[in-house]
Chain A
Amino acid sequence: MRIHITIKTALNALRRNVLRTLLTTLGIVIGVAAVISMMEIGNGATMAIQKTLASIGANTLAVLPGAANTGGINFGAGTLMTLTPQDADAIVKECPALASVAPVVRARTQVVYGNRNWSPTYIYGTTPSFLQVREWTDLEEGESFDEHDVRNSNRVCLIGQTIVRELFNGRSPLGKEVRLRNVAFKVVGVLKMKGANMMGMDQDDILLAPWTTIKYRVVATSLGNSSQSESATTISSSNNPYETISTSLYPVPSVTEQSSTPQPIRFANVDQILTAARSSGSIPSAIQQITMLLRERHHLKTSSPNDFNVRDMTEITKAMSSTTDMITKLLLCVAMISLVVGGVGIMNIMLVSVTERTREIGLRMAVGAEPGDILRQFLTEAVVICLLGGTMGIILGRTSSYIISSVLHWPTAPSIAAIIASVIVSASVGVIFGFYPAWKASRLNPIEALRYE
């Protein structure tokens, strides 16, 4: 018996009792709709949670310089001066797994405004993309400084809520000037409250300024380790920040002139580079890409160790993946229960149908249907019911998750995997719960079946 005839026979049999067929499919419709909408709402919730976790820095990778080692004395992590802002630019250009990169220069000093002073936990010299890396782009008031300010070493800064409270007593600091080591910075923006981080450090106790300003105007005393002369990068006056201007403003000094009037060497290393991976999933590839790129840029031999370290927030990432895992599993359990209930409904109706059609089965056997033919026919009917229910369930599920997302404003994300899974699951529910009734039908004795009233 060919498969399309079997399917046709099944459809004919189902059409003979449309209402019952529809009521039977209802169990599967509800089950599949539940699976689909729950998976979609779950997906949406997962994405929302991921977004929230990303804002506390789950996707952040920190690139720190390695330890300097001179004459057997190890100076500890972060003492090599090999990381440069150019490294940061290269990373954002050449590592596709990364969304944004910001170099960071740290300082530790007093901030003075009027007759008040305060020592913030963090004074960071950085670029505007720091706010993207830390998911902090919404400002309380004012605006961020821009690339221009970085190039010109402008004395502008953003301050966190704690500094506003300590120095300004809650009044708006916009346009006011604060002083760091007697350098006046104009406050151009105020960061939103972020609270404490995982370690309990107050993240609002922060001052952000262009890294060039912090580096050259505030921390300019730093001359670094004398052993760095070879590996440390220097900025000479010819390192033009304005790439568009090609002609030099001053005559090029000759070698003699250069040796008689030495320019002060300015180290352009940064204390760390903060980067944000595109998603928690791309963190491993991001680490690999950064490592390969920096090794190449720092001309490291294959035998020599990295002169930098890449740190990720493993703890947060783990918490995130276990949370989303649990949500998905929970929803799957609920959905599975409704599918099983639907399957039992199908088995019930198929058993009724077999009893009701005993004479038909007897007749089919009398005209030459083999037990296998009967088994196939009833099994096909069950699977057709389930697939029918599955299709309607997919439509209903998509519709309801759409309604939920538009009425309740819950985030939902369509899931192709859920659709494929529910088609497979509903077909297997049909096979599993349709098998017993079909088997029972195929075992009927044709003589008794024909005589059945």
Chain B
Amino acid sequence: MDLIELKDIHKTYFLGEVPVPVLRGITLSIAHGEFVALMGASGSGKSTLMNLLGCLDQASSGEYWLDGKEISRLSANEYARLRNQTIGFVFQSFNLLPRTTALENVMMPLTYSRENLNEQQKRQRAADLLRKVGLADRVNHQQSQLSGGQQQRVAIARSLVNQPSILLADEPTGNLDSRTSTELLEMFRQLNDTDGITVILVTHDENVAQWAQRTIRIKDGLLEGSVEPDEAGRVT
């Protein structure tokens, strides 16, 4: 069984009384250790799909199998645990805590972990990860003292601190110049190759998507290439 399997996922928002369908039947699967790019124009439902994949949101209908478990109807606290243990997030805007050192930023998700680590072990693990992303000399720098690329590396180290099986990156290079973008994408590929972490890269940039092994394109709430169901719901 694949790591992620979505079966006929629908998501409908309500603007007052008016239903706005955003995802209209997504079925896809992502295997262990894949490097996938999720592409789509804005308004295509790309972000919604990413939020669903990242367990930040629940589908209106359909099944979500994560690592062999159906998780689309779990409680808020169980979702929080999944986000903590299985999924690492990297955001476009880095989202580091202000006036907090790189090390403390990386350690932050451990606060919510059920793992029983003492302070020393936590520091050790965070420092190791910072070394891994090439910031061994920036451990005690604060967010404001780091460049954009460095901040994003701290964010990657933070996303890896609970040893997740999935890394979900939402436009990770959107705020960076092309050279640092390349460095970062190199790092994602390396994490995928050597550590076997499944990477899902959400982007609208073809050049970025090229780094992935597979590109999933989404348009108007449907996967491109899949066939739009007709009004009777039958596939023509």
Binding site for B on A (CB under 8 A): 1, 5, 9, 12, 15-16, 359-360, 362-373, 446-447, 450
Known: A12-B100, A446-B56, A447-B56. A368 touches B112 (CB 8 A): yes
Q: Which residues of the partner chain B approach A447 to less than 8 Å between Cβ atoms?
A: 51, 56-57
Q: Which residues of the partner chain B approach A366 to less than 8 Å between Cβ atoms?
A: 54, 56, 83, 89
Interface readout for B136-170 with A: 1 if CB under 8 Å, 0 if not? 00000000000000000000001100100000000
Q: Which residues of the partner chain A approach B51 to less than 8 Å between Cβ atoms?
A: 447
The one of A9, A16, A359, A372 that contacts B111, using a Cβ cutoff of 8 Å: A9
Q: Which residues of the partner chain B approach A450 to less than 8 Å between Cβ atoms?
A: 91, 95
Q: Which residues of the partner chain A approach B89 to less than 8 Å between Cβ atoms?
A: 366-367
Q: Which residues of the partner chain A approach B162 to less than 8 Å between Cβ atoms?
A: 367-368
Q: Which residues of the partner chain B approach A367 to less than 8 Å between Cβ atoms?
A: 83-84, 89, 108-109, 112, 158-159, 162
Interface size on B, residues (CB 8 A): 27
Instruction: Identify 9 residue pairs between A and B in the complex whose beta-carbon atoms are under 8 Å apart, listed by A's number.
Output: A12-B104, A363-B95, A364-B112, A365-B83, A366-B83, A368-B162, A369-B80, A370-B80, A447-B57
In the assembled complex, the CB of A156 is this many whole angstroms from the nearest CB of chain B, namely 83
Give A368's nearest chain B residue, CB to CB.
B84
- Majority SS at the chain A contact face: helix
- Majority SS at the chain B contact face: helix
B41 at the interface (CB under 8 A from A): no
Q: Which residues of the partner chain B approach A359 to less than 8 Å between Cβ atoms?
A: 95
Chain B CB within 10 Å, residue with most, of A12, A373, A446: A446
Give A5's nearest chain B residue, CB to CB.
B111
Chain B CB within 10 Å, residue with most, of A1, A12, A363: A363
The one of B81, B98, B104 that contacts A368, using a Cβ cutoff of 8 Å: B81
Flag if B112 contacts A370 (CB, 8 Å). Answer: yes
Give B81's nearest chain A residue, CB to CB.
A368
Per the bound structure, the CA–CA distance linking A171 and B71 in Å amounts to: 106
Known: A1-B112, A363-B95, A364-B108. A370 touches B77 (CB 8 A): yes
Known: A366-B54, A368-B80. A373 touches B112 (CB 8 A): yes
Give A377's nearest chain B residue, CB to CB.
B111
Q: Which residues of the partner chain A approach B158 to less than 8 Å between Cβ atoms?
A: 367
Interface readout for B206-217 with A: 1 if CB under 8 Å, 0 if not? 000000000000
Flag if B83 contacts A16 (CB, 8 Å). Answer: no
CB-based closest 6 A-B pairs: A368-B84, A367-B109, A370-B80, A368-B112, A16-B99, A363-B95
Per the bound structure, the CA–CA distance linking A9 and B54 in Å amounts to: 25
Q: Which residues of the partner chain B approach A370 to less than 8 Å between Cβ atoms?
A: 76-77, 80-81, 112
Flag if B111 contacts A1 (CB, 8 Å). Answer: yes
Q: Which residues of the partner chain A approach B159 to less than 8 Å between Cβ atoms?
A: 367
B203 at the interface (CB under 8 A from A): no
Excluding A363-B95, A364-B112, 15 further A-B contacts by CB distance (< 8 Å) are: A16-B99, A359-B95, A360-B97, A364-B108, A366-B54, A367-B108, A367-B158, A367-B162, A368-B85, A368-B109, A370-B80, A370-B81, A373-B111, A447-B57, A450-B91
Per the bound structure, the CA–CA distance linking A395 and B95 in Å amounts to: 40
In the assembled complex, the CB of B175 is this many whole angstroms from the nearest CB of chain A, namely 14
Per the bound structure, the CA–CA distance linking A116 and B81 in Å amounts to: 104
Per the bound structure, the CA–CA distance linking A446 and B51 in Å amounts to: 10
A-contacting residues, B86-119, CB 8 Å: 89, 91, 95, 97-100, 104, 108-109, 111-113
In the assembled complex, the CB of A4 is this many whole angstroms from the nearest CB of chain B, namely 10
Give B80's nearest chain A residue, CB to CB.
A370
Per the bound structure, the CA–CA distance linking A364 and B77 in Å amounts to: 13
In the assembled complex, the CB of B43 is this many whole angstroms from the nearest CB of chain A, namely 15
Q: Which residues of the partner chain A approach B109 to less than 8 Å between Cβ atoms?
A: 367-368
Chain B CB within 10 Å, residue with most, of A364, A366, A371, A372: A366
Per the bound structure, the CA–CA distance linking A359 and B94 in Å amounts to: 11
In the assembled complex, the CB of B91 is this many whole angstroms from the nearest CB of chain A, namely 7
Give B98's nearest chain A residue, CB to CB.
A16
Interface readout for B31-65 with A: 1 if CB under 8 Å, 0 if not? 00000000000000000000100101100000000
In the assembled complex, the CB of A103 is this many whole angstroms from the nearest CB of chain B, namely 75
Q: Which residues of the partner chain A approach B113 to less than 8 Å between Cβ atoms?
A: 368
Chain A CB within 10 Å, residue with most, of B80, B83, B97, B109: B80
Per the bound structure, the CA–CA distance linking A162 and B207 in Å amounts to: 113
Per the bound structure, the CA–CA distance linking A363 and B143 in Å amounts to: 15
Give A12's nearest chain B residue, CB to CB.
B100
In the assembled complex, the CB of A360 is this many whole angstroms from the nearest CB of chain B, namely 6
Give B57's nearest chain A residue, CB to CB.
A447
In the assembled complex, the CB of B55 is this many whole angstroms from the nearest CB of chain A, namely 9
Q: Which residues of the partner chain B approach A371 to less than 8 Å between Cβ atoms?
A: 76-77, 80
Per the bound structure, the CA–CA distance linking A371 and B76 in Å amounts to: 8
Per the bound structure, the CA–CA distance linking A97 and B166 in Å amounts to: 79
In the assembled complex, the CB of B80 is this many whole angstroms from the nearest CB of chain A, namely 4
Give B158's nearest chain A residue, CB to CB.
A367
Give B109's nearest chain A residue, CB to CB.
A367
Flag if B56 contacts A368 (CB, 8 Å). Answer: no
Flag if A368 contacts B83 (CB, 8 Å). Answer: yes
Per the bound structure, the CA–CA distance linking A152 and B28 in Å amounts to: 118
Q: Which residues of the partner chain A approach B91 to less than 8 Å between Cβ atoms?
A: 363, 450
Give B119's nearest chain A residue, CB to CB.
A5
Per the bound structure, the CA–CA distance linking A370 and B97 in Å amounts to: 18
Q: Which residues of the partner chain A approach B56 to less than 8 Å between Cβ atoms?
A: 365-366, 446-447
Give B91's nearest chain A residue, CB to CB.
A450
In the assembled complex, the CB of B83 is this many whole angstroms from the nearest CB of chain A, namely 5
Q: Which residues of the partner chain A approach B99 to less than 8 Å between Cβ atoms?
A: 15-16
